[in-house]
Chains A and B, each alone.
Chain A
Amino acid sequence: MGQTIAEKVVSHHAGRQVMANEIAIVAIDGAMATDATAPLAIKAFREMGGVRLWDPSRVVLVIDHAAPAPNEQVSNLHALMRAFGREMGCVLYDVGEGICHQLMVEYDHVRPGQIILGADSHTPTYGALGAFAMGVGSTDLAAAWLTGKTWLKTPASIKIVLDGTLRTGVSAKDLVLFLVRQIGADGARYQAVEFTGSAIRSLSLASRMTLANMTAEMGALTAFVDLQGLDLPYRFDPIHPDPDAVYSVVYSFNVDHLLPQVAIPHAPSNVVPIDEVAGTPIQMAFIGSCTNSRLEDLRAAAAVLQGRKLAPGVRLIIAPASRQVFMMALQDGTIATLTESGATFITAGCGPCVGTHQGIPGNGENVITSTNRNFRGRMGNPHASIYLASPAVVAASALRGVITDPADVL
């Protein structure tokens, strides 16, 4: 019987033929934790009797969720991570390097066909590189540090075929918001999502990461974006699904006429085309997170804001995905354009998206953001309302002070 990509990768790592719903113990290729999850993992690892990591070169710690530390309590947890990193000799990216998922890809910790565990729910992002990447909690991660293995129920797969070409001003974020609406918040629960079709071919790696990233909002365990058209600096053998692979469901969409999309409070699956919410006042705008804060995202915002000023009473906060993204945006003038428009830059990291510090909205405020979740209280205040959109929509809305289709201002 034919296999899906997920079944092939799990079989390879289990050392035997495995099909959907079978439990397997698999060797892993990498394990990532952040300051939101590593401290608990360190505690669990010690309690398990752990004294050394199974392979320090494959263990990555990232200080990004509340970085720089907003108080002494968080600073002490960061210090715990640094001490553990030194003792174990593993890889540690400190304050300001950037967002975990961005760094895993930027620094080549992920390759096609690997199995990577990440103690963060947006780990499926690495599906943009054809890796089986799965989010876990701290104790699961500690066990992986100790054994170099994990157990999993091999996921069934959903196939999403995307054909056509996105219109100017419509991005991968609009596409994935549309898909989250179609599939539902738990429509892909515990499944692998395979993206394929001609519309993928023209997408950048950054856009593919955005697609894979938000499969977490469909409940997916992992995601795979077809590698066709992707130019990677190393040789690899792409894993193709067998023609007779079995899928739990296949969706086909043509993206030619897709409009910008907005997720309205308080769920990422509450998605509407922008014309249904255009005109809603906003007080805060944020461009950041593992979903949309890469160079192409900052450039999309700069294209909207070039030579113009933010609406009075609106603050636009930007956290680049990484130091490298920040450097590139400095060199090409994007940072200057955005800063001149009135935007404020903060450290590359996750803070406002998780509501831990820097950019927490006030009571009754509306926020438009390029992040991935608009659960009540997500950005640190349960009395604020969060709208999710593409960086271009966030920028256009910050320019007008109301939710705005970028086509109306470009």
Chain B
Amino acid sequence: MSVFRGIAHVYGDNIDTDRIIPGKYTKTLDAQTLAAHVLEDLDPNFASRVRPGDVFVAGYHFGAGSSREQAAIALKVAGISVVIARSFAGIFYRNAINIGLPLVEAPDHAILDGHCVWVDLEQGLVVDETSGCVYRSARMPPVMVAILRAGGLVNYLRQYGDYEMECAAT
């Protein structure tokens, strides 16, 4: 689960959850419907252009706003393998981990659209293969690594039945 490689789709700062998936599309339990409308007001071509394994790259405060987990689900089901941003909004960050969408915070990245990028989550490394630049990210808390490793919080709790104290230790 820890290494990803794909083509970058680069967007800007403050992309909020209403942009990722507007409220009017969230009233469904069908993940494919969410993916079909992902980011449509920001970039109407995004859903048709994204390929499985692609990398989503954003600026500051990605996922600001609503608690709607549908935003993270829409990105994941559309094919995004990992999201890189300068910073993430708190609820979005947790939601993504909980549904098994890996994230990495790289405050100083200069990744450009179309670049080939790989990410090593365990090492906290982001490498822009096209430009040759390497970025480091803060380490993810152990409890998050454990949830992500299980494939999300549903699988984690199926496996452990409860939160494990040793996973939470810093």
Contacts and interface: CB of A to CB of B under 8 A. Distances in A.
A90 B16 CA distance: 32
Residue of A39, A140, A373, A375 with highest tally of chain B CB at under 10 A: A375
B96 to A, nearest CB: 9
Interface residues of B, number: 44
A241 interface: no
Contact of A136 (B94, B142, B152, B154): B94
A137 B24 contact: no
A306 interface: no
Interface string A161-179: 0000000000000000000
Contact of B153 (A23, A123, A143): A143
A139 B69 contact: yes
Contacts, number: 140
Contact of B69 (A37, A48, A123, A185): A37
A151 interface: yes
A25 B168 contact: yes
Contacts of B95: 136-137, 139-140
Interface in B37-70: 41, 60-61, 64-70
B137 interface: no
Given A48-B158, A139-B98, A151-B163, A121 B66 contact: yes
Contact of B90 (A77, A221, A375): A221
A25 B165 contact: yes
Given A40-B70, A375-B18, A186 B27 contact: no
Interface string B60-103: 11001111111010000000000000010111001100110000
A137 to B, nearest CB: 4
A83 to B, nearest CB: 14
A190 to B, nearest CB: 5
Contacts of A377: 18-19, 22, 41
Given A36-B68, A139-B152, A267-B14, A355 B157 contact: no
A273 to B, nearest CB: 23
A131 to B, nearest CB: 17
A289 to B, nearest CB: 13
B94 A137 contact: yes
Contacts of A44: 153-154
Contacts of B165: 25
Interface string B112-155: 00000000000000000000000000000111000000001110
A34 to B, nearest CB: 9
A382 B67 CA distance: 20
A354 B23 contact: yes
Contact of B24 (A23, A123, A356): A356
B29 A43 contact: yes
B89 A219 contact: yes
Nearest to A373: B65
Given A185-B61, A376-B41, A380-B23, A37 B68 contact: yes
Contacts of A151: 143, 163, 168
Nearest to A50: B157
Interface in A172-195: 185-186, 189-190
B154 A47 contact: yes
A48 B142 CA distance: 21
A186 B61 contact: yes
A290 to B, nearest CB: 12
B157 A120 contact: no
Contacts of B65: 121, 373, 375
A380 B26 CA distance: 12
Contacts of A267: 14
Given A24-B168, A139-B153, A382-B41, A375 B19 contact: yes
Contacts of A153: 141
A140 B165 CA distance: 17
B16 A375 contact: yes
B67 A356 contact: no
A355 B22 contact: yes
A354 B27 CA distance: 12
Contacts of B29: 39-40, 43, 77
A119 B165 CA distance: 24
A376 B40 CA distance: 12
Interface string A57-90: 0000000011000000110010000000000000
Interface of B: 14, 16, 18-19, 22-24, 26-29, 41, 60-61, 64-70, 72, 87, 89-91, 94-95, 98-99, 141-143, 152-154, 157-158, 162-163, 165, 168-170
Given A142-B153, A186-B61, 4 more contacts: A25-B168, A44-B154, A185-B14, A375-B18
16 contacts: A25-B165, A37-B67, A44-B154, A48-B154, A77-B27, A77-B29, A119-B67, A140-B95, A142-B153, A143-B157, A186-B61, A189-B90, A355-B22, A373-B18, A375-B65, A377-B18
